[in-house]
Structure 1
Amino acid sequence: MTAAPGERPKPIDQCQDVQEILDQIRLRPGMWLRQRSLRDLQSILFGYGVALDVHGLDEKFEMGPVGPFAQWIEARFGWPMALGWAVAIEKHADGEEPLEAFFRLLDEYRTI
């Protein structure tokens, strides 16, 4: 889960969408997430989704606790999503760091 060679963080106000923000979090997870917590990441993304709704912004947002990303994980692995994708990934990481597992799954999801 390392950045590509030469890839540097950019100011958050230069990000165009949630996917670019996730790319920035991947570059510097310690700046964004206490103890690299997936639940903190899910909370950040929940707030992002709420802000989109409140401000009437039209952005494809797939990262809600039970949104398209969670539905894909549930369909792909059969993991329950009652508590959101963060808990499901943490529970099924099988020794892999949960944040690394998240980004691995995110990369796979982005290819579909």
Structure 2
Amino acid sequence: MTTPQGKRRAPRPTSELRDVYDFLEEVRLRPGLYAFHSSVMHLQSILWGFDLAVKMHGTTGATLFDANGAFTQWLRHQINGQYGSLIWGYAIELEAKDRGVPAMDLFFELLDKFRAEAAR
């Protein structure tokens, strides 16, 4: 992510992150640092781990990215078609390949759309 002056901002320490969206903004800044080969499937594994930790420890926080999470349900209506019941990370990677775009770019495009629609 760049600033208006065209410079990339420095990554924030983990202790400054408030929620999963803050974490995802760090991933957006440097996807290869968090997800091997900038793989959406690897990112999905991280997010499933976050959701599992929230559930296991009873902490507050939305579990958006598990099999029945809000993002997953929303995504089924966005790119469902030929991908049916595939896990969402793989479905996004296939969709990105069909569109000829990087999968991580498509993930963040979809995430931004999901967040905008959820805010309404």
Q: TM-score, normalised by structure 1?
A: 0.88
Contact 2:64 / 2:70 at 8 angstroms: preserved in 1?
Answer: yes
Query: Could you tell me which residue of structure 1 aligns to residue 106 of structure 2?
Result: 101
List runs of 5+ in structure 1 lacking aligned partners.
none
- 1:58-77 mapped onto 2 (5 Å cutoff): 58-77=60-79
Measure the CA separation in 1 of the matches of 2:84 and 2:51: 18
Larger relative contact order (Cα-Cα within 8 Å, sequence gap ≥ 6): 1
Measure the CA separation in 2 of the matches of 1:29 and 1:89: 15
What RMSD, in angstroms, separates the aligned Cα atoms of the two structures?
Answer: 1.5
Query: Could you tell me which residue of structure 2 aligns to residue 15 of structure 1?
Result: 17
Measure the CA separation in 1 of the matches of 2:88 and 2:33: 22
Runs of 4+ displaced beyond 2 Å: 76-83
Measure the CA separation in 1 of the matches of 2:80 and 2:35: 27
**Which amino acid in structure 2 is aligned with residue 90 of structure 1?**
E
Measure the CA separation in 2 of the matches of 1:70 and 1:59: 16
Name which one, 1 or 2, has greater alpha-carbon Rg.
2
List runs of 5+ in structure 2 lacking aligned partners.
none
Q: Bigger shift: 54-63 or 72-81?
A: 72-81
Find 1:83's aligned residue among 86, 89, 92: 86
Identity among equivalent pairs (%): 34
Measure the CA separation in 1 of the matches of 2:36 and 2:74: 26
Alignment size in residue pairs = 110
Residue 98 of structure 1 and its aligned partner are, at CA, apart by: 0.5
Contact 1:66 / 1:81 at 8 angstroms: preserved in 2?
Answer: no
